[in-house]
Amino acid sequence: MDNAAENSPHRLVDIFFYGLHMDAASLQTKGIVIRQPRLATIRDCKIVVRTKAILLREEGATAHGMLYQLTHAEIDVLYKDQPDYRAEAFAVDDGERIVSAISMVHIAPPLDGAVDPAYATKLRKVLEDIGLPASHLRADIQ
């Protein structure tokens, strides 16, 4: 079998993170191997924050995040207790090229929910640490 077409447990998948999973150190504490981390964007999408970050489609918007390569088993570890997410494919710009990547999105985004200040504070720190804009966070959340 051609290795490029192999569906082994070791095959890597590009995945775009836009919430707390952008933080490599946090991923490592969950047993995730950090592979090819790079800043990335998705056009015609935006991120809103409620109890968690939510990726939504919106023409003309740009969503900023981190792109990594993970195995399917690693992705399963991150989302095993979160049945309200599903994988969707996106064209992601890593600054050098456009790649096809998945991102885990909410099945029914809780847009009417309140912002979780503790989550937003952690997210702001992650964004600042990796050098991404925090313009989608309320200014009063430190």
Q: How confident is the model at residue 139 (pLDDT cuts 50, 70, 90)?
A: low
Tell me how far the alpha carbon of residue 121 is from its chain's centroid: 17
Q: Over the stretch 24-83, which tens digit does the pLDDT of each residue have? A: 999 999 999 999 999 999 999 999 999 999 999 999 999 999 999 999 999 999 999 999
Half-sphere CA count of 22, side-chain side, radius 13 A: 25
Q: What is the pTM of this model?
A: 0.91
- φ, ψ of residue 3 to 5 degrees: the values are -60, -30
